[in-house]
Structure 1
Amino acid sequence: MLNEFKDFIAKGNVMDMAVGIIIGAAFTAIVSSLVADLINPIIAIFTGGIDFSGWYYVIGGDASAYASITEAEEAGASVFAVGRFIMAVVNFFIIAFVVFMLVKMVNRIKAAAEKPDEVAPEVDSGPSQLDVLLEIRDSLKKT
């Protein structure tokens, strides 16, 4: 079992995965900042400044007794935070779209790098090896 573990760790895929996780964690901070600091304010312009994260219901109580969701949570009330969920879904779609655009751009760059500059024309080098062997076989049959 120890040898299997050593073989698993020694493979290049594990290192690629580790690098991907580390870069993914750093990328998450960048994308979260993009969403919170740049995209959400633009959305707020179109929605009239509505902040969904403040929408909540107090389960088994009166929501009007609390000034904010934070106050309700600090008081120990059971809070059904609808707005936070809506904002999480909106953020997910924004992040998914940004990642999609990045992957699309990277794939386009890879395709351009892999595309050969000029395709060499095929040169007719004469009969193939199989044709020559068949011709020899046929001539031997005749004799």
Structure 2
Amino acid sequence: MSGFKKFLLRGNLIELAVAVVIGAAFTGLVNALVKSFIEPLIALIGGQPDFSGLAVTIGGTKFPYGVFITAAISFLIIAAVVYFLVVLPTTKLLERLTRAEEAGERECPECRSEVPVKATRCRFCTSSLVPA
């Protein structure tokens, strides 16, 4: 029982559970955005946002290919919304934070050129520098 308790209370499992719950809530939000704003925009441009009525009948069997087209368009729209509203801003923010932490160069106080952090002399103006 102790091993099971440790398994349930591990950080990774709890983080995964939180991610699933947040993901489900975010899915509802993005779906509402697509239904409320994106699909009407598609209807303005293309005339019809829902292609689920499209089908072809072969040998008495109906193949509703419009359902797949509607799902594919919704997937692409949702993927684009998630990328441009979540992934791209988060990536840019993380780049800024890590760039500041991992600065490999600093500015020379004399000539304002970039020199390595551990340099004791500027390679451009040859002034002495105090190592960081």
Q: Which residue does the alignment assign to 2:19?
A: 20
TM-superposed deviation, 1:35 = 1.1
Q: Which protein shows a greater Rg?
A: 1
Whether the aligned pair in 1 keeps the contact of 2:40 and 2:49 (CA below 8 Å) is no
Report the secondary structure of 1:116's partner residue.
Answer: helix
TM, length-normalised to structure 2: 0.67
* 1:75-125 deviations in Å (ceiling 9; x for gaps): xxx75322111100100111111122221211111222333277563256x
Tell me the matched-pair count. 108
* Partner residue, 1:31: 30
User: Could you tell me which amino acid in structure 2 is paired with residue 108 of structure 1?
Assistant: K
1:107 and 2:107 matched: no
Q: TM-score, normalised by structure 1?
A: 0.62
- Distance of 1:11 and 1:50 partners within structure 2: 45
Q: What SS class does the counterpart of residue 4 from structure 2 fall into?
A: helix
Partner of 2:68: 85
| Structure 1 residue 37: Cα displacement | 1.1
RMSD: 2.7
**Inter-partner Cα distance in structure 1 for 2:40 and 2:49:** 10
Higher helix share: 1
Which runs of 5 or more structure 2 residues have no equivalent in the other structure?
107-116, 119-129
**Identity, % of aligned pairs?**
38
Give the Å deviation of 1:25.
Answer: 0.6
Q: What runs of 5+ residues in structure 1 fail to find an aligned partner?
A: 62-77, 125-143
Superposed, which structure 2 residues align to 1:45-64 within 5 Å?
A: 45-49=44-48, 51-57=50-56, 61=60
SS at match of 1:54: coil
CA contact (8 A) 2:34 2:74 kept: yes
C-alpha separation in 2, matches of 1:34 and 1:19: 22
